[in-house]
Amino acid sequence: MLSDLKRIIDQISRDRGFERKLLIEAIEEAVLSAARKKLGSRREIEVRYNEEYGEIEVFQFRTVVEEVMDEQAEIDLAAALALDPEAQLDDELGEKMDNIAELGRIAAQSAKQVIIHKMKDAERDVICEMFQDRIGEVVSGIVQRFERGNMIINLGRTEAILPKDQQIPKRSFKQGDRVRAYLVDVRKGVKEAQLLLSRTHDDFLVKLFEMEVPEIAEGIVKIMGVSRDPGFRAKIAVTSSEADVDPVGACVGMKGSRVQNVVQELQGERVDIVHWSPNPATYAYNALAPAQVSMVMVDEDAKSLLVIVPNDQLSLAIGRQGQNVRLAAKLLGWRIDVKSEQRYANLENPGYQSLLALKGVEEALADQLFSRNILSTAILAEAAIEDLTVLRAIGDEQAVYLIQAARNSLGLDPDAPIMRKRVVEELKEEGDAVTVVDGEPEKPVSDDVAPESEPVEIEREDEAGSDPQE
């Protein structure tokens, strides 16, 4: 059995990538464990691998005594002299054991378990070392199975886990599908190495573009920022170190081929590619695409931007459930407040400001009040209940509350009778005169109210190469 040991060690070391030293140590430990089980735990036993003969040698050491009291630890002088003519009392005499092949079934099974355990430990260490240097790369494997929503990916020599919260929502794979993912971490578990994958990580999108766009791999085009709503939409900002290379066009590719490959890998996730700019106003202008922007006001101390867009562009700039502006804000790392031109004009109107000063009145409600010609707190104080209940989400109770709040702010009696119905136009004061066109009031902007910041004049950078999905 042991005559083939050297060949087996060499083959396992070559096929599995183990160090020979680790394998030899595992075999020595296994044989030592088996020998102690067979021969007794009190024996002082030493196991060595003979490299020249490719054999395992077992030695037992006993103390030379006149009268043996413990056969496992002692040997009498006569027996010692037979082994070594120069042996003396109290010497530690070593003896090579020749019957290690007869260690017994239980001992041999124990040795086998030790070898298997050591080999698994060695294989785990090899895998950890192999993949430790690949953290931050995209790996490819086959979907092996599912465990409590987690996806187990077979990478060849080992398995990796794609946790449920790192999978793109509403997108599914089935057993046997090939999948690519971003290697986030390698952990050395008790039983085996654990490789953690992600398909929702921002850097997964970066790596996919690096694989598809040679200009990025060569360093000509650089990715300056990424923000994702995994499975739905993403924004990526790019710039070029060479004036004659359009970074957006390079990422889009001929007829959109490059970006479409990325989108296909992300199973339909929409990707907006925008020009990066060191100017936060210009950067925001580009990041909010496809919406058009009228002007941007910058507050560098607060790292916030006030973005003004045409009235018909407001919903596009904000996006579904605020997705577009949220991704743009994440891309810049700044707070972005988007307002329509109409609301921005309203904000400079003293009557509008008086409405906002009332507790419970926010911009959305103030806009609705303005749409009904309730253009100041004074008009609101004299309004009828039905002047307010025609507005969405305002009932009788809230209408009364708003009218009383307006009266309180003006020092009027809040408990005075409130009419159920009355024409608001009759109650407008001369100072709040408004021209009504097609049923909607035109609100003049007061000349004596200046904006907090000067508008920034911006020219949108060429977007000819933007994502063809827009």
The reply to whether 185 falls in a domain is yes
- Whose CA is closest to 101, among 27, 34, 24? 34
Same-domain pairing of 329 and 371: no
| 380-428: pLDDT as tens digits | 888 888 888 887 778 888 888 888 888 888 888 877 877 776 544 554 4
- Whose CA is closest to 418, among 441, 389, 376? 389
The residue out of 302, 324, 343 marking a domain boundary is 343
Query: Which two structure tokens, joined as six digits, stand for 29?
Result: 């430990």
Phi, psi of 160 (to 5 degrees): -125, 160
Q: What letter would DSSP give residue 85?
A: T
Same-domain pairing of 274 and 375: no
Same-domain pairing of 160 and 103: no
pTM of the model: 0.64
Angle at 88 between CA 84 and CA 90, to 5 degrees: 120
Give the model's pLDDT for residue 107.
53
Query: Which two structure tokens, joined as six digits, stand for 78?
Result: 């006569």
Give the model's pLDDT for residue 445.
40
The reply to whether 397 falls in a domain is yes
Q: What is the number of domains present in the chain? A: 4
Q: Domain span at residue 39? A: 2-128
- Whose CA is closest to 330, among 226, 445, 446? 226
Same-domain pairing of 56 and 174: no
Regions of the chain with pLDDT less than 50: 1-3, 423-424, 427-470
- Whose CA is closest to 294, among 313, 316, 322, 274? 313
The residue out of 343, 365, 397 marking a domain boundary is 343
The reply to whether 215 falls in a domain is no
Cβ-count burial 431-448 (b if 16+ within 10 Å, e if not): ebebeeeeeebebeeeee
Is residue 252 within 8 Å of residue 468, measured between CB atoms? yes
Same-domain pairing of 173 and 248: no
The residue out of 294, 311, 343 marking a domain boundary is 343
Q: Among all chains, which residue has been given the structure tokens 């919260």?
A: 165
Is residue 238 within 8 Å of residue 224, measured between CB atoms? yes
Work out whether the CA dihedral 382, 384, 390, 395 comes out positive or negative.
positive
**CATH, residue 38:** 3.30.1480.10
